[in-house]
């Protein structure tokens, strides 16, 4: 986006990741009081019914697809600050990744919940957990099907912090 957009935008005073020269910066949160914050993100992996059936039956060539994807999501949440340049490293107190079969999709719904007590939120950690869990599910099952689709990754809700609570209806 151009500088003109930012100067004409009603949100220009809220662009905290830009310094006075318009350069990216990590926001200083040292003056904030740590509060409990939680974020939930979701996404899905769409596949052929036969692929879903094979994974559910435990017949994937690479082994435990869902267990591996769940663990990868948890590990990814813990590494978010290493992956997203302006994210703060956070002490994460809770990370859950749930992967549920959905025959109507067909495929899997993925939900990640991340919780901390810190000066800034955990939305990016939840989104990272879902993204990497979905990528790992794809990797573990690609021998069965290469046309799987990762889709609809989004933030579902967040609590805590100055901006208050958020929830998709």
Binding residues for substrate: 86-88, 124-125
Q: Phi then psi for 23, rounded to 5 degrees? A: -90, 150
Do 91 and 2 touch, CB atoms closer than 8 A?
A: no
In the 8-state DSSP scheme, what is residue 87? P
Rounded Cα distance between 70 and 55, Å, is 14
Active site residue 98: no
28, 64, 139, 165: the catalytic one is 139
User: What's phi and psi for 38, nearest 5 deg?
Assistant: -140, 145
The rounded distance, in Å, linking the Cα atoms of 80 and 124 is 7
Token pair in block for residue 42: 């979701």
Residues annotated in the binding site, as ranges? 86-88, 124-125
Query: Which active-site residues does the annotation give?
Result: 139
């Amino acid at each position: 986006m151009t500088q003109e957009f930012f100067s004409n935008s009603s949100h220009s005073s809220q662009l905290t990741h830009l310094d006075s020269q318009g350069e990216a910066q990590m926001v200083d949160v040292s003056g904030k009081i740590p509060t409990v914050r939680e974020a939930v993100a979701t996404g899905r992996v769409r596949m052929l019914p036969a692929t879903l059936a094979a994974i559910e039956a435990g017949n994937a060539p690479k082994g435990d697809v869902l267990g591996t994807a769940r663990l990868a999501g948890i590990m990814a949440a813990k590494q978010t600050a290493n992956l997203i340049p302006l994210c703060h490293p956070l002490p994460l107190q809770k990370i859950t990744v749930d992967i549920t079969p959905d025959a109507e999709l067909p495929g899997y719904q993925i939900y990640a919940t991340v919780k901390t007590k810190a000066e800034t939120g955990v939305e990016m950690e939840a989104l990272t957990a879902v993204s990497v869990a979905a990528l790992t599910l794809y990797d573990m099952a690609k021998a069965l099907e290469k046309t799987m689709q990762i889709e609809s990754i989004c933030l579902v809700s967040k609590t805590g912090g100055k901006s208050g609570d958020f929830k998709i209806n």
